[in-house]
Structures are given as C-alpha cells and as structure tokens.
Structure 1
C-alpha cells in the first residue's frame, strides 16, 4: 500500500535551497545530510534517499574536483529541485533509492555488490515504473513536468507565499 504524500511547502523550499547549495559546492556532504528538513513530505525523503548515491559518506567533501557530479546527473538533480518548488504531490510508490532507475537494479550490479544492496525484484521494479513516466521522476507525468517548467518560481521574479 502506498503512502499518501503530506505536502510541506515550507520544508520543500528549505530542502530545495539546501540541495542547491550542495550541488553548487557551497556545503559539504555532511552538511547536506545534517540539514535535511524534518518533515513527512515523501518527496523530500525520496530525493534525500537517492542523493546519497552522489557522494562519499566516509569522507567530508564538496561536490567539486574529483567529487564533482557528472552533468547528466546534475541535470536530473535540477529537475528534482524543480519538483521541490512545485506544489505537486509525490505520487510514486515507496521504493528505496527511487531516483536510481529500477530497471537497472533488477540484476545485481557492481555497485549493488559494493554497497551490499540486493537486486530489486522484477515485479517491484515493474510496478514502480508503471506508476508514472520515470524519465521525469520525481514528477509523475510529462504534463506535470512541462507545467512546472513553464511556470518556474526561481527565475520568474516572483515566489509563492509561504503558508
């Protein structure tokens, strides 16, 4: 049974800024982990959960130099920030590391062996992927994604009032 999202606009804005600071190398991975907003908003949990894949949690570092994020991953993270600035519900089913393509996790990969992660059962991966258009995760649909792109809050010179 899927959880119902508890939309927390204030926590999402805070999370978006923290995530931006992390991506831009302004804060360390430790700061990022420690600053996660306390909330029941599933989108924040899903994004923080997946962001763990992008840094070394054994060393304190910024996402610069050898720890710099590849541009394709950074583009995906920018989409996640766009979602955090939306007022859309997070409609995906619960899944560990949801931003790591489930179709790539059916067979145990090198990274899964390194991190002692089990392969994802095929039926669970399929159910997750059938829930929406995965290419625009954490958005559930291309329509929602395009709507958020056409109505940005960060570049428009306006922001929505906090509740």
Structure 2
C-alpha cells in the first residue's frame, strides 16, 4: 500500500532535517504530527498503524532517527553536518518517497537489539556475560545477508537499478525541462 500524502510529508521533513533547515526536535514534532500518528521515530514500531502501514515509512523513520543525537536540540550543520555520501543516500530515499512505487523489501530492524531488550533480556545478557547480545547480533547479521539477496541492495529502497533509473527519469524535480523566458 502506497500512502502518497504521508510519504511526501516524510520526504519534505527529512530533506529539511538533512540539510540543516530544521532541528532534530522540530523534525520529531513534524513527524509526530504528520507521519507517525503521534509516535517518535524510534518508537513508531509500537504503533498499531505501523503493522499495516506503507512498508517504507517505518524503515525511513528509523534511519532518520540515526542521523542525529536526540540528547540535544541541534541542526545538522557545521560539526553535525552530514557527509556527502549520507546526503546522496537520503536523496535516494526522498526520490523513493516521492514515487508511487510499492516498497518490495522485507522489513529489517536497523536498531541495535540491545535498545529493544526487555528487562529479562538485559538480565539474560548480563548473566551470559554478553553472549545473549552476541547471539542476537549474529541472528540479525544473517537476516540482513538474506534480505540483501532479494534485490540489488545498492539501490535500496528501490528493488533494483532499473526501478531507480525509471524514477530518476520521471521525477519532476530532476527533469531538464526548459523554462520559457520569452
């Protein structure tokens, strides 16, 4: 299911965050109002809507959260500025969000498993001297390797180079339309 309206809002806010036009706190406020039904990006997985949502929303929210520290209000400028490689990746995400393409990848949780551990899992990890965490990380790495085989992961969130290339040709912001200045 493609939710164009929420995709466009997410793309808009992500663009403004990534180039330093808004702070991380402003981004989170806009996201909770416009995209995530009141949930912060890192907590959206708990929302009942996330289970039946446009498949690209949750991964992009989680990747967005990893761009900044939520311990302080900051813009992604000067010392917090994103690298050119990060900006290129975000541009690809925004290109996908502005498409009508159905998201085809399975969900993969990018968040470190220790952040989502329950109290009992923290106890298990402590009692196993970290072996429980290491096991969870190994499981996660195997799932990631399997997921990458589904398409051309270099073009994620697009499934392959052809899909990416088509969207590049069709995207209105990237076309070479000439303005009539007469």
Normalising by the smaller structure, the TM-score range is 0.7 to 0.9
CA contact (8 A) 1:90 1:139 kept: yes
Match of 1:151 among 167, 170, 181: 170
Q: TM-score, normalised by structure 1?
A: 0.75
Q: Larger % of helix: which?
A: 2
1:73 maps onto 2:86 in alignment:
yes
Bigger CA radius of gyration: 2
Q: TM-score, normalised by structure 2?
A: 0.68
User: What is aligned with 1:90?
Assistant: 103
Instruction: For residue 49 of structure 1, report the CA deviation from its aligned partner.
Output: 0.6
Instruction: For residue 156 of structure 1, report the CA deviation from its aligned partner.
Output: 4.1
Which aligned pairs between 1:1-163 and structure 2 lie closer than 5 A? 6-36=1-31, 37-38=35-36, 40-97=53-110, 118-121=136-139, 122-156=141-175
What RMSD over aligned residues (CA atoms) do the two structures have, in Å? Answer: 2.4
Distance 1:157 1:15, change over 3 A: farther
List structure 1 segments (4+ residues) > 6 angstroms apart after TM superposition.
Answer: none
Residue 56 of structure 2: SS of its match in structure 1? helix
Instruction: For residue 65 of structure 1, report the CA deviation from its aligned partner.
Output: 0.8
Instruction: For residue 33 of structure 1, report the CA deviation from its aligned partner.
Output: 2.1
CA contact (8 A) 2:155 2:164 kept: yes
Residue 42 of structure 1: SS of its match in structure 2? coil
Count of residue pairs the alignment pairs up: 137
5+ long unaligned stretches in structure 2: 37-48, 112-129, 178-182
Query: Which whole-Å CA distance do the structure 2 matches of 1:145 and 1:132 have between them?
Result: 12
